[in-house]
Chain A
């Protein structure tokens, strides 16, 4: 059965297509292929260039190579507490239990983590993790992960559709039937027919001005899911990484790994004060050093001292930095100092943090082995995303799965550093597995409605055919300013209202957007189409932020500065009905008693939990 729309297009048929070529997408494709499904990965960029390469510090897994006291239960506890108890307990449990196997599997496929003296995988300290838990490769762990998965995918002969941008999911009677988009290199349209689809499209941080995210992170998967009838959850929780570069302007927002602090870097304000001691929340008091002497001792003797507040979860640190700068204690360019040079030798820094050294040397003329450097918060990660079933990663749409940053649940209100890379492989694998199983149960891909293709083509072609309309770059720039200024780290009702008004005006401008030139590798046109996703997600974030009238994790309200126990019981869920976004709150799933004891047993997680195997 073939379809005949008026626009010429390529057509391919698979059992499973995975949209997104980052860590989660590749892991899903590897699993689906291993299950016997004919699988393709669609990447918006070249193969192996996804945002995963920006993950620097490591991947969290209770391997117990450095701390035998660690275990999945401690990791589970840290993840839930870091997420301000809003995370999905089942996802956090699966994640903590399965991540060690996923790390070892990467090693099997060629990854080379740093080693302990005994030849095992070395683990490093990171914010919010009770024990040194992050398997890492210097400060380029994400690169190692994606390269390993990339060559594993090549080994399995998986089809990779590079520089291919999916603009629409196609439905047949309530379940997915395929996807439609275009090749960026030629501008040709492509129809992918499939029995199951995995979304692994990452976040949408590109809508902020100061961000670690590349042009790709426009939230396509979130929009596609909404349009297909799936739901978003926790979308108000956007992580601002505490340490991004602030100067020069051209690199503002560029990520500075948490590994700098994990390996001995301390935060200081312009007076040289280690201000983090003033920002230790009640919730973490028991396990955090309250004076510089103890914090300093912790670096050398971790058993008998509490950890430095420089390594509190990211939301706490980002807010503290923001407060210091607002109080006039910031650095010349509006950040705070991060200083590793006074604690560590130049050799140590260059060995542990080679790419940070080069990044500052090349881009800012700063030698981090000799001097402190300026850092400030930068938009980094979406805790929220597509609502999925914890075990199967299935969305509410039949045949549609989601994993990685574009899925919600694991991280709750705030993600711990290092939990992202393990999230990618744990839930990427599950997505691939369940998508393949779902596909195996279908006889053939669903039918494709040619009029749907026509509509998609008409929408995609419009900016090219329109003359002298709105400039896509200008809309994007305005949106970035709006989200940065009004829906940033600290939020308040009036600003959120204003943001919503502006986003609606951008949507109106987007309807008149025009992109000069042809379809062949035309970034202006590509952006004009991606703006649809950026605006949809921005609206969802703004409205969810407006609804949640409390401060929790990555969502801080100036007008509701405290966490509200009532809001701890609900997630904000976003749906699309009649072309409009509709929001409502829904209760969290109930955590079983034995798990909730692990979480509440203040620092007394059962250290000797039996190692878990899958």
Chain B
């Protein structure tokens, strides 16, 4: 058993964004006492208890399992509950800002409904019928790949950091973002699923807008290898269906018939 070795930080100064909109709001400094082992979310609680009872912070499990307390700590998208003070420089204030990609509700809380709307735009799993003995069989080697995607806690940090929508508001309509590429990869690679969402990924979900700069992978608190294991394999599936030169030539010659339309739900 090793004791946490940390500098003896007795108090911490946090520079927290306060306000109901980004234009009029600003950063406010709070200094509160801290204990060893604390995470940034603990400091937010101290601020609520001692300085600003109405400081808006969204959180739930405080264990890195629910994905509610996403924010930008010192400019990096993080879960506040999993960011220990000892991992941050003690010499300067800790900046805590709301996620930049989503509309602000108040203080550190953003309106993440973009994600819940996108979640409704693709068909859910539809399994092949069970085997002759009435049982469905899947094997660990094929389930492993999908289980990685199922680790997603929907913290939306990947959506937040993705420059396609973070810096280009106009892309929001045509782009579903890393979270939903992960979700659709899980569905596409499901050993028993019968839908195909490949053409839909290209045409409707903006898979091609992703330029695989891997920031989603960098910020994922569940260490899902979003780009390598979900997005790129999906891009490859799109290549097979859509950019295969032979298929393309065939489409040109025999008319504009696009690849088979994905089954709608």
Contact = CB atoms under 8 A, between A and B. Distances in A.
A185 interface: yes
Nearest to A107: B136
Given A151-B124, A359-B64, A523 B150 contact: no
A152 interface: yes
Given A115-B138, A250-B35, A520 B48 contact: no
A249 B63 contact: no
Contact of B150 (A137, A157, A331): A137
Given A155-B265, A214-B60, A48 B35 contact: no
Interface in A180-225: 185, 214-216
Size category, B interface: 35 or more
B51 to A, nearest CB: 11
Nearest to A160: B116
Contacts, number: 179
Contacts of A607: none
Dominant secondary structure of chain A at its interface with chain B: loop
Given A54-B65, A152-B124, A520 B106 contact: yes
A53 B63 CA distance: 10
Given A115-B139, A120-B135, A523-B48, A247 B109 contact: no
Interface string A126-167: 000000000001101001100100011011010010100000
B167 to A, nearest CB: 25
Contacts of A372: 1
- Please report whether the interface of chain B is mostly helix, strand, loop or mixed according to DSSP: loop
Contacts of A27: none
B150 A112 contact: yes
B6 to A, nearest CB: 9
Interface stretch (B88-96, B140-148, B199-207, B251-259): B140-148
Contacts of A137: 147, 150
A112 B67 CA distance: 20
B124 A154 contact: yes
A583 interface: no
Interface string B64-82: 1111100000000000001
B64 A115 contact: no
B111 A112 contact: no
A296 B187 CA distance: 41
B82 A363 contact: yes
7 pairs of A and B residues whose beta carbons are closest in the complex = A248-B37, A517-B54, A119-B137, A524-B53, A110-B125, A521-B56, A155-B124
Interface of B: 1-5, 20, 35-39, 42, 48-49, 53-68, 82, 84, 105-107, 109, 111-113, 116, 119-120, 123-125, 127, 135-140, 143, 146-147, 150-154, 183, 187, 190, 265
Interface of A: 45-51, 53-54, 104, 107-110, 112, 114-115, 117-120, 137-138, 140, 143-144, 147, 151-152, 154-155, 157, 160, 162, 185, 214-216, 247-251, 254-255, 331-332, 355, 358-359, 362-366, 371-374, 471-474, 477, 515-518, 520-525
